[in-house]
Amino acid sequence: MDNDIIDGFLVPKKPSGRLRTRWLDDGRMVEFHSVSNTLGVDHKLTLDGETPPDGRYTLNDDVTRFEVIKGLVTHEYFIETYEHNGSDIMVDCSRISGYGRSCHIYKEDEPLPDGVYKLKRFKWVKVVDGVIVQTGLFKIAT
């Protein structure tokens, strides 16, 4: 069978679903096509009608962050917030497996300095360059 026919059958030529809109935390509008009304990995999107620059964006719900490369969503994160010494630490977590190694961690939109942090009881993380490199139930050696 001709591969073009198979590809045309398995991969739709036009976006599926209805055009959906969401608002970013900075007030700009994101548009994407979706059957399920949710923004997810591999969705092509526009930002105020144009292809957005590569980067991370946060929806105005303040719990959903996504990464865009060349106009496609490559990662979606759930933001977990922890109080640490009177201020908030935020972690970009996987919706499926939660936080762990390779998750970005930051405070006031700046990467968290290198060190070991207690997020809450039995939740310790070691951070290097704003990324979690180790997790543990008990305090981690520096």
How confident is the model over 117-135, as pLDDT tens digits?
Answer: 988 888 899 999 988 998 8
pLDDT in tens, 21-49: 889 999 999 888 776 667 778 888 888 88
Assigned domain for 125 exists: yes
- Is residue 95 situated within a structural domain? yes
pTM: 0.70
**Final residue of a domain: which of 40, 55, 76?**
76
Residues 84 and 121 in one domain: yes
Query: Is residue 100 domain-shared with residue 59, that is, in the same domain?
Result: no
Average pLDDT on 83-93 reads 87
Is there a domain that residue 124 lies in? yes
Between the CA of residue 46 and those of 34, 66, 109, what are the distances in Å?
Answer: 13, 13, 23
Considering the domain architecture, whether residues 57 and 70 belong to the same structural domain is answered as yes
Residue 84, domain extent:
78-136
